Amino acid sequence: MFGFIKKGLQKTKEAIQTVVGSEKKEKISKELLEEALLEADLDYDLVEKILDRLPEEVSKDKLKKELLWVFDVPPNDIKFDDKPYVMLIIGVNGAGKTTTIAKLAHKYKSEGKSVILGAADTFRAAAIEQLSKWAEILDVPIIKTKHGHDPAAVAYDTISSAKAKGIDVALIDTAGRLHNKVNLQNELKKIVNVSKKAYENAPHKKILIIDGTQGSSAINQAKVFKELIGADGVIITKLDGTAKGGSVFTIANDLALPIYYVGVGEKPEDLVKFDKEEFVEGILESIYGG
Ligand SMILES: Nc1nc2c(ncn2[C@@H]2O[C@H](COP(=O)(O)OP(=O)(O)OP(=O)(O)O)[C@@H](O)[C@H]2O)c(=O)[nH]1
């Protein structure tokens, strides 16, 4: 068993097996397959799209091909081909931005990279506090300001500091909700523009954080963010606590963006690089048993 599948897909597997049972099978009827995929929270339209291309009795190999096809999106490797490498973390409040930044900082640090955090969600005092706590726990520097101050200035200072100190990776938090969409868009655009002033190549990645337990409402919100300032890829959080692992397919299909990592718990080490083969194998194992 793979670590991620064990941790992240356990509940999804149980949900699938309430429909199909746990015994080993060579083929499965389309009807049962439809029910199992819907139970795992794949979106109805996507399930129909997948089933359309399959025969009445579906073998594991045929289904594998169709499920992998959903992840036919740009590659999900992050190459760190520049220094500092600046990652802007965007998404709605509560999706898990702060925790995910801590996880990324922990991961990159343990790979030997130096990391700096930027607390550019100045809209909420709690967000600055929470990120500061993580910086202390993880022993990484953080650039912050007072609640209500200019978030673009925080981004600028974070990137400038990373440049001056030769830091490898800058992770910048952003607000998930302002008074309205126009405010949010203006603020995010300003952060991007000012980041470029601090370093012309920044931000290298705009990463959208999506709560994997929230279904279509989270996907619709993510689409809004993607439209507001664009995104290079996503991180899906909270896959450990949910039977809705199939939402990963829907997110990849709807947003047409690579999935870099998935969150499988609340601790800094609970972040796994997303591997589509491994993920699809996990789903297939749940359906076909074995
Ligand atoms: N089980 C689980 N919980 C997670 C995961 N990622 C984040 N959480 C929890 O989700 C909650 C929200 O996470 P935050 O990191 O505070 O979310 P945020 O998007 O920064 O939200 P705000 O700080 O409200 O803007 C916290 O209780 C986290 O511990 C995950 O992968 N698995």
Taking the CA of residue 92 as reference, the ligand 1 atom at the shortest distance is 19
Q: Is 93 annotated as a binding residue?
A: yes
Q: Is residue 10 within 6 Å of ligand 1 at its C-beta?
A: no
Is domain 3-73+282-288 in CATH 1.20.120, yes or no?
yes
* Span 173-202, average pLDDT: 90
The single-letter code of the amino acid at 19 is: V
What average pLDDT does the chain have?
92
pLDDT tens, residue by residue, 120-145: 999 888 999 999 999 999 999 999 99
Which among 241, 191, 238, 2 has a CA at the least distance from the CA of 90? 191
Q: Is 173 annotated as a binding residue?
A: yes
Q: Residue ranges of the domains in the chain?
A: 3-73+282-288, 85-274
The complex scores an ipTM of 0.94
**89: part of which helix (H) or strand (E)?**
strand 85-90
Phi, psi angles (nearest 5°) of residue 175 = -75, 150
Q: What is the pLDDT of residue 60?
A: 97
Map tokens 């609640």 to a residue.
147
State the sign of the Cα–Cα–Cα–Cα dihedral 120, 259, 279, 93: positive
Parallel, antiparallel or unpaired: strands 271-273 and 259-263:
antiparallel
Mutate-to-test residue for ligand 1 from 237, 248, 261, 273, highest number of ligand atoms within 8 A of CB: 237
From the candidate CATH numbers 3.40.640.10, 3.40.50.300, 3.40.1160.10, 3.60.70.12, the one assigned to the domain spanning 85-274: 3.40.50.300
Structure confidence at residue 2 as a pLDDT band (50, 70, 90) = low
Show the tokens assigned to 177. Answer: 């909700």
pLDDT tens, residue by residue, 21-80: 999 999 999 999 999 999 999 999 999 999 999 999 999 999 999 999 999 888 899 999
Q: Is residue 264 within 6 Å of ligand 1 at its C-beta?
A: yes
Q: Cα separation of 247 and 55, whole Å?
A: 24
pLDDT tens, residue by residue, 76-117: 999 999 999 999 999 988 899 999 999 999 999 999 999 999
Tell me which DSSP letter residue 41 carries: T
Q: Cα separation of 80 and 101, whole Å?
A: 16
Bond before 203 cis per omega within 30 degrees: yes
Q: Is residue 237 within 6 Å of ligand 1 at its C-beta?
A: yes
Q: How far is the CA of 166 from the centre of ligand 1 (A)?
A: 30
Q: Is 191 in a helix, a strand, or coil?
A: helix
Show the tokens assigned to 278. Answer: 């491994």
DSSP string, 199-238: -TT--SEEEEEEETTSHHHHHHHHHHHHHHH--SEEEEE-
Mutate-to-test residue for ligand 1 from 235, 240, 248, 266, highest number of ligand atoms within 8 A of CB: 266
Q: Is residue 265 within 6 Å of ligand 1 at its C-beta?
A: yes
Q: How far is the CA of 273 from the centre of ligand 1 (A)?
A: 18
